[in-house]
Structure 1
Amino acid sequence: MRVRFLADFDWSPAERGGRVTIAYKAGMTLSVTRACAAEAIAVGKAEVAKKENPDERR
């Protein structure tokens, strides 16, 4: 799922048992797992991002 982070967000995947933390910085737009996206959106630190259209960048 593609999201844009509105604020810094640290996420630890449950399947890794807390041994891994991924730090996302505000302003990043990228694809993340659905679990990560759901948690970040739930706490207001991310929003769903539309897919970038290469023609719109010109």
Structure 2
Amino acid sequence: MRAPRPLASVLNLVDRFEARGVYVPGEDNKAISPWRDFGWLIATWLVTLAVFILFFALAA
């Protein structure tokens, strides 16, 4: 089943973050990378911000 286009673009964004790798504490000694470690959170924040801006653009 194909996802609706907005959902598919969000999933593509999240997949890009996850492709960079996921941080597992104790498994490696790499420095914390916000793009790698908080990809879902960043993608959610970007989508929320876009919806917020769109809501006020339509309300104006």
TM-score (norm 1): 0.25
- More strand as a share of residues: 1
Question: Rg larger in 1 or in 2?
Answer: 2
Higher-RCO chain (CA-CA 8 Å, sequence separation at least 6): 1
TM-score (norm 2): 0.25
- More helix as a share of residues: 2
